[in-house]
């Protein structure tokens, strides 16, 4: 499904329904020309949407929603060690396997 660019429509649909709750909506950048999906699926409402890496775009001062493939989350496990991650939604592939996790990140205040 990855080769067919599966997921952006579902991600952006969720972003649009919940954009009032977040300052930034950030999507995985592992697509061919990922920014075009915002213009295609949300042509009037994508100002707060971003594409990029978790480590570059995470800002603990902002309310952000991230949408990334499980493999990207696993590759960045060190980044997540001192943070709390709360899964908001799981978007599955048509075969039922996890395609994308939509989640919030907050710093761990107990350190």
pLDDT per position in the chain (111 positions), as tens?
Answer: 455 578 889 999 999 999 999 999 999 887 767 778 888 888 787 788 899 999 999 999 999 999 999 999 999 999 998 899 999 999 999 899 999 999 999 877 654
Element (H, E) at 9: helix 8-18
DSSP state of 79: H
Position 110 scores a pLDDT of 53
Quote the strand ranges of 11-82, DSSP E.
24-27, 49-51, 64-68
Look at residue 107 in the predicted model and tell me its pLDDT. 76
3-state helix, strand, coil in the chain (%, to 5): 35, 30, 35
The predicted pLDDT at position 111 comes to 45
């Amino acid at each position: 499904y990855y080769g067919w660019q599966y997921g952006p429509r579902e991600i952006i649909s969720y972003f649009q329904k919940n954009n009032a709750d977040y300052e930034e909506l950030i999507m995985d950048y592992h697509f061919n020309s990922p920014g075009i999906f915002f213009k295609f699926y949300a042509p009037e409402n994508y100002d707060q949407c971003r594409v990029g890496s978790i480590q570059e775009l995470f800002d603990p001062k902002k309310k952000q929603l991230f949408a990334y493939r499980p493999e990207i989350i696993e590759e960045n496990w060190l980044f997540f060690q001192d943070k709390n991650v709360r899964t908001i939604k799981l978007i599955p592939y048509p075969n039922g396997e996890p395609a994308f996790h939509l989640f919030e990140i907050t710093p761990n205040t107990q350190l």
